[in-house]
Structure formats: C-alpha cells, structure tokens
Chains A and B, each alone.
Chain A
C-alpha cells in the first residue's frame, strides 16, 4: 500500500501570509495527487487535481506542484475563509486511494 505523509499537522499564520503544506508518497505516484479543503461539519471540497490543476471555481491563490513522491500545496495569501483542514490524496493504477493525515490551518 502507498502511504502519504503530510506535514505539518497544524499551522498558524496571519492573514496575507503564504502557507505551504507538503505531502510525501512512500513510492512514485507520478502526478496522481489531489488536494481537498474541509471545513468543520462539511464534506471535503476538491481544490487541486493531478498535482497542479486548479478545479473550476477555486480561487487562484490556491496552487499545487510536484511529481513522483514529493508534492506541495500553497495558499499564496491566506484569507480568513481559508481556515480549514487540508488533505492530500493519492490514487494509483490499482485504483486504491490513500489520504494524508491532514493539516489544520488557523489564523494567528
């Protein structure tokens, strides 16, 4: 099974700050990596798919990069409405999915 290591598990930043979250796969997953935002009591929302493609309607301050085993998710300028928990998720050629442990983003 492919394991996903996401870090940090939580972070606190100021409005306007650049926020970066990383996700590392236990083996090469090409670009089969997605990012989600989850607010309390709500279902996750897809933000980035295939490592770097922005889902329709998602603000451009969200971005993703990486390939192989190392991936990065960035919020270029943190906004109050971005307070949430963010998850990475990989899928593989055997159609198995794995989520990272999540990163809780708070306002300082």
Chain B
C-alpha cells in the first residue's frame, strides 16, 4: 500500500523559505510515476504547485515558478518542497501526491494527509 506523509514547520516567518518533506512508503519514487505538491488555503480550493517525474524532470505552476524547488532524496525515498520569499498568501495546507505513471502528470491517486503551514511573524 502506497503511503505519503508530509512533515515540516507549521509556522514560517514572512520572507523566509518554506521547506517540507514527503516521506513515501510502499513504492520507490525513483522507479516510476510523477510526484507532486498541491496546496489549499484555508476555506479555499486546490492549487497545484509542481510535479517531478521519477527521472528528475520538474514542472512547476507558472504563477509560482521562480519561488519553487522540488527535489527528491532517493536514499530516503522522500520528496521535498522549498518555497522562497513566503507571504501570508502562502498560508495553506500542503499536500504531496502521486501522479501519472508515464507520459503526463495525470491523475493524483495517492495523497498525504496534508500539513498546515502558517506564514506569520
């Protein structure tokens, strides 16, 4: 059974960098699939942040592109997200999820439970 678990600081100061990790169990992220990050501001809808293919190619939301870095630590089977220069607008529940098997980023079939990150001084 594939499981994903996000972790990281729950509070980040404005202008600093938000850093989260997603521990994946039940599947090797270096083997196949896209792996991505999605966020949801309190009371609002879902926003795709970016995805990484198992080969290392990354794809980011154009609205966030210059602030987002997605990487993988294959030795730990973990996905990471760095979001720089955060503001209150980046306050959200952050999810990691598994995407398509091949071709395109596709459907998100396994999700973590999400972690709330608040940006505040």
- Indicate whether A89 sits within 8 Å of B104 (C-beta atoms), given known contacts A44-B46, A97-B48, A99-B47: no
Interface of A is mostly: loop
Cβ of A49 < 8 Å from any Cβ of B? yes
**Total residues of chain B contacting the partner, CB 8 A:** 24
User: B47 near A89 (CB under 8 angstroms)?
Assistant: no
Q: Which residue of A lies closest to B105 (CB)?
A: A95
Interface core residue of A32, A55, A96, A98 (most chain B CB under 10 Å): A96
User: A96 near B107 (CB under 8 angstroms)?
Assistant: no
Residues 44-78 of B, flagged 1 when their CB comes within 8 A of A and 0 if not, give: 01111001010000010110000000000000000
- Indicate whether A91 sits within 8 Å of B100 (C-beta atoms), given known contacts A49-B106, A97-B36: yes
Q: Please classify how large the interface on chain A is, using the bins under 10, 10 to 19, 20 to 34, 35 or more.
A: 20 to 34
Cβ of B111 < 8 Å from any Cβ of A? yes
- Indicate whether A92 sits within 8 Å of B46 (C-beta atoms), given known contacts A43-B112, A43-B113: no
8 Å CB contacts to B: which residues of A74-108?
87, 89, 91-102
The CA of A9 and the CA of B120, in the complex, are separated in Å by: 30
Contact partner of A34 (CB less than 8 A), chosen from B47, B53, B108, B112, is B108
B residues near A (Cβ < 8 Å) are 34, 36, 45-48, 51, 53, 59, 61-62, 95, 97, 100, 104-109, 111-114
- Give 24 pairs: A residue, B residue, CB < 8 Å, sorted on A: A1-B62, A34-B106, A34-B107, A36-B108, A38-B46, A42-B113, A43-B97, A43-B111, A43-B112, A44-B108, A44-B111, A49-B106, A87-B45, A89-B46, A91-B105, A91-B107, A94-B59, A95-B34, A95-B105, A96-B59, A96-B105, A97-B51, A100-B45, A102-B45
